[in-house]
């Protein structure tokens, strides 16, 4: 007798919508509901890192309500700088406060900082 025989952990996972096995399911993936930019506030700050490096940080945008990787790509391209996403924060290398403020306002976000 197996440890989890007859329980939910013993059975293969099934799709919640059609009931087929997850490997055989043909249902489209659920759409991600995004919050419109005009209902969100982006908080900007310039911070100093180790060895005197300066980064511009964008906070206040929830990852599950936004497409943060796409937004980060737009911001990096507009600033001509590198950057990364840590948790729900976007970091752009360098002091780009004014440029990011105008770009986020143009996209439709409310901006503080």
Tens digits of residue pLDDT in 33-87: 788 889 999 999 999 998 999 999 999 998 888 889 999 999 999 999 999 999 8
| pLDDT score for 2 | 63
Q: Which of 97, 91, 52, 50 is nearest to 72 (CA)?
A: 91
Smallest CA-to-CA distance from 86 within 63, 109, 107, 66 is with 63
The structure tokens 């840590």 sit at 86
Between residues 5 and 65, which one has the greater pLDDT?
65
Q: Can you give the pLDDT at residue 23?
A: 86
The pLDDT, as a whole number, for residue 113 is 83
Q: Is the pLDDT of residue 8 over 70?
A: no
Q: Where are the alpha helices (DSSP H) in 1-113?
A: 68-79, 97-107
Q: What confidence score (pLDDT) does residue 17 get?
A: 84
């Amino acid at each position: 007798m197996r440890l989890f025989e007859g329980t939910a952990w013993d059975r293969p996972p099934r799709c919640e919508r059609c009931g087929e096995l997850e490997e055989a399911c043909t249902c489209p993936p659920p759409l991600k509901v995004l919050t419109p930019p005009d209902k969100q506030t982006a908080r900007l700050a310039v911070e100093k890192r180790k060895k005197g490096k300066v980064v511009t940080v964008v906070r206040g945008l929830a990852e599950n309500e936004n497409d943060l990787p796409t937004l980060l790509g737009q911001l990096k391209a507009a600033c001509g700088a590198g950057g990364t996403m840590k948790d729900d924060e976007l970091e752009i290398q360098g002091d780009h406060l004014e440029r990011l403020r105008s770009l986020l306002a143009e996209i439709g976000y409310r901006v503080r900082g």
